[in-house]
Chains A and B, each alone.
Chain A
Amino acid sequence: MAGKTLFDKIWDRHVIIERDDGQTLLYIDRHLCHDGSFAGFQRLRETGRRVRRPLQTYATPDHYTPTHTSSLAAIEDPTAREIVTSIDGNCAEFGVHLFPWGDDRQGIAHVVGPEQGITVPGITLVCGDSHTSTHGALGCISFGIGSSEVTHVMATQTIWQQRPKTMRITVDGSLGFGVTGKDVVIAIIRQIGAAGGVGHAIEYAGSAISALSMEARLTLCNMTIEAGSRTGLVAPDDTTIDYVAGRPFAPKGDKWDQAVAYWRQLPSDADAAFDTEVSVDGNAIAPMVTWGNSPQDAVQVVDAVPDPAKESDADRRAAMVAALDYMDLKPGTPIQDISVDKVFIGSCTNSRIEDLRAAAAVARGRKAVVPTLVVPGSGLVKKQAEAEGLDRVFTDAGFEWRLPGCSMCVGINGDQVGPGERSASTSNRNFRGRQGPASRTHLVSPAMAAAAAVTGRFTDVRTMMEGN
Chain B
Amino acid sequence: MEAFTTFKAIGVPIDIINCDTDQIIPARFLRFQASHGDFARFLFHDLRFTDSDAERPDFIYNKPPYRDAGVIVADINWGCGSSRENAVYVLVANRIRTVIAPSFGDIHHANCMKNGVLPVRLARDDCDRLRLQLHEQPGAEIAADLEAQTVTGPDGTVYEFDILPFDKHRMLNGLDDIDVTLQYEQQIGAFEDDRGADYGWLD
Contacts and interface: CB of A to CB of B under 8 A. Distances in A.
A437 interface: yes
A230 B106 contact: yes
Interface in A50-104: 64, 77, 79-80, 83
Contacts of A258: 200-201
What's the dominant secondary structure at chain A's contact region? loop
Interface string A105-148: 00000000000000010110000111000000000000111111
A25 B181 contact: yes
Given A25-B181, A148-B114, A412-B28, A194 B51 contact: no
A421 interface: no
B81 interface: yes
A173 interface: no
A149 B192 CA distance: 20
Interface stretch (A328-336, A362-370, A426-434): A426-434
B59 interface: no
B46 A433 contact: yes
Interface string A317-339: 01100000000000000000000
A156 B181 contact: yes
B107 interface: yes
Interface in A253-297: 255-256, 258-259, 262, 294, 296
Contacts of B178: 47, 49, 151-152, 155-156
Contact of A195 (B28, B77, B114): B77
Contact of A251 (B17, B114, B201): B201
A219 interface: no
Interface residues of A, number: 74
B54 interface: no
A373 to B, nearest CB: 17
Contact of A13 (B22, B83, B198): B198
Nearest to B46: A433
A20 B82 CA distance: 31
Contacts of A19: 165-166
A257 B28 CA distance: 46
A437 B115 CA distance: 28
Interface in B129-150: none
A157 B188 contact: yes
| Size range of the chain B interface in the assembly | 35 or more
Contacts of B158: none
A80 B31 CA distance: 7
B23 A431 contact: yes
Contacts of B108: 146
Contacts of A432: 22-23, 46
Given A130-B81, A433-B26, A21 B202 contact: no
Interface in B148-203: 164-167, 177-178, 181-182, 184, 187-188, 191-192, 195, 198-202
B30 interface: yes
A148 B177 contact: yes
B110 A146 contact: yes
B76 A158 contact: no
A146 B111 contact: yes
A157 B187 CA distance: 12
Interface string B1-38: 00000000000000111101011001110111100000
A119 to B, nearest CB: 12
A36 B28 CA distance: 12
Nearest to B163: A21
A207 interface: no
A198 interface: yes
B107 A145 contact: yes
Contact of A156 (B32, B46, B188): B188
B107 A438 contact: no
Contacts of A120: 202
Given A13-B199, A130-B81, 5 more contacts: A145-B107, A155-B178, A155-B181, A251-B201, A431-B20
28 contacts: A13-B195, A13-B199, A16-B191, A20-B165, A21-B166, A79-B31, A79-B32, A129-B83, A146-B83, A146-B110, A148-B85, A152-B178, A156-B181, A156-B182, A158-B188, A160-B181, A162-B164, A194-B18, A198-B103, A228-B80, A251-B202, A410-B27, A410-B82, A411-B27, A412-B28, A412-B30, A434-B22, A438-B51
Interface of B: 15-18, 20, 22-23, 26-28, 30-33, 46, 51, 75-77, 80-85, 88, 103-108, 110-111, 114-115, 128, 164-167, 177-178, 181-182, 184, 187-188, 191-192, 195, 198-202
Interface of A: 13, 16-17, 19-23, 25, 27, 29, 36, 39, 47, 49, 64, 77, 79-80, 83, 120, 122-123, 128-130, 143-149, 151-152, 155-158, 160, 162, 164, 194-195, 198-199, 225-226, 228-230, 251, 255-256, 258-259, 262, 294, 296, 315-316, 318-319, 410-412, 419, 429, 431-434, 437-438
